[in-house]
């Protein structure tokens, strides 16, 4: 069977052909409809009947990126280019974008938050696309300092340590 030519269906990928035809059962004499899906490029043995080949489509999953949770007070302060999302076949493994030129003064980029998994994926991590479209949200941790003092004692404590909220 051939590839799809110039067939198109927005948000879908051509998976194969549904071959449908009618045969007459030799014992009962009744007509029976045969319907089978063949992958693109598969071999097909022609029956003694006319057939109809209908395109079989698989919905693609849309992945998009938001640089920051829009409900946060600093959301409009993120600068840089939003990574381009895309349409993917469910089950495909993609590499999540790096931070690129995204910046937020006083914060460190932690990764991409996925609401469906309730987890943050590190930039550059492998991510398996599900069958639902979703937005991955840039997650940021506030840059902080841990300072050490002698408390009730005397002397100098260790040097301050740079830290990031959530790490």
pLDDT at 111: 94
Q: Is the pLDDT of residue 48 over 80?
A: yes
Q: Is the pTM of this model over 0.85?
A: no
* C-alpha separations of 122 from 114, 125, 137 in Å: 11, 5, 12
Model pLDDT for residues 13-41, shown as the tens digit of each residue: 899 999 999 888 888 989 999 899 999 98
Instruction: With H, G, I as helix, E, B as strand and everything else as coil, classify residue 113.
Output: strand
| DSSP characters over 120-154 | EEPTT-EEE--SS-EEEEEEEEEEEEE----TTS-
As a whole number, mean pLDDT of residues 126-142 equals 88
Residue 74 confidence (pLDDT):
85
User: Does the pLDDT of residue 133 top 80, yes or no?
Assistant: no
Each residue's pLDDT tens digit, 80-94:
999 999 999 888 999
Q: State residue 125's pLDDT score.
A: 96
Cite the beta strand spans of the chain per DSSP E. Answer: 12-24, 31-39, 52-59, 61-66, 86-88, 93-95, 107-114, 119-121, 126-128, 134-146, 161-164
């Amino acid at each position: 069977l051939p590839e799809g030519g110039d067939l198109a269906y927005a948000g879908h990928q051509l998976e194969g052909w549904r071959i449908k035809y009618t045969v007459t059962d030799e014992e009962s004499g009744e007509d029976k409809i045969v319907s089978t899906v063949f992958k693109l490029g598969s071999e097909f043995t022609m029956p003694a009947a006319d057939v109809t080949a209908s395109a079989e489509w698989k919905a693609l999953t849309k992945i998009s990126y938001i640089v920051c949770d829009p409900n946060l007070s600093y959301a409009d302060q993120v600068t840089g280019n939003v990574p381009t999302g895309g349409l993917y076949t469910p089950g495909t493994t993609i590499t999540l974008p790096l931070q690129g030129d995204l910046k937020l003064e006083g914060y460190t980029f932690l990764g991409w938050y996925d609401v469906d998994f309730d987890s943050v994926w590190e930039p550059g991590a492998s991510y398996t696309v599900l069958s639902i479209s979703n937005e991955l949200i840039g997650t940021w941790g506030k840059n902080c300092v841990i300072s050490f003092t002698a408390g009730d004692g005397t002397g100098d404590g260790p040097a301050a340590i740079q830290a990031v909220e959530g790490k």
